[in-house]
Amino acid sequence: MRRLLFMTAGLLLITTGNAMAQVRISITSEWGNVEATLIDNAATRALIQALPVSIDMRDHLRQEKTGDLPSPLPQAPRQQDFSTGTLGLWGPDHFVIYYRDGQVPPPGIVVLGQVTGDVSNFDRPGPVRTRIERIK
C-alpha cells in the first residue's frame, strides 16, 4: 500500500512538473522578441491566467527593465540573486526583466522564469512597451 502511495505521488509530481515546465511565453517589443520558460509557483500560475498583457517598461539601475502589471500577483518564495535573463516580480505587480547578473536587497524577488534567448536587446536606455503572451 505504501509503495502504491509513493508511486502515485511521484507520478502526480512528474505530471504536474512537466505540464508547468512547458509553459512558455513570448515578450515582444519594438527592440526585438524573446521567449521565456516559466517556473511553477503561485505568481506564475496567476500570470498565465492574466495573459496577454502589455507593460510599459523603464530602465532601472542599468541592469533591468521594470514595469507595472495590470493587477498584483500572489506572493511566492523570494531570492536575492538573479542572472541574465531572469524574469522576476519585485512588488506584487512589479514585473522585471534582468539583462545583467546581480543581486537585489531584501526581501528579494519572486522568480517567475528564465528567458531562453538573448536579452541584450533590453540593455539600452529609455522606456519600451512590451507585450507578453503565452506560446501555445
Tell me the C-alpha distance between 69 and 62, whole Å.
21
Q: Which amino acid is at 70?
A: P
Number of domains present in the structure of the chain: 1
Work out the angle at residue 127's Cα, subtended by the Cα atoms of residues 122 and 132, and round it to the nearest 5 degrees. 65
Cell 512528474 locates to 14
pLDDT digits 0-9 by tens, 29-81: 999 999 999 999 999 999 999 999 999 999 999 999 999 999 999 999 999 99
Query: What is the residue range of 68's domain?
Result: 2-135
Q: Of 131, 135, 126, which is closest to residue 95 (Cα–Cα)?
A: 131
Phi, psi values for residue 71, rounded to 5°: -150, 155
Q: How far apart are CA 21 and CA 104, in angstroms?
A: 25
Q: pLDDT confidence of 20, banded at 50, 70, 90?
A: low
CATH number at residue 83: 2.40.100.20
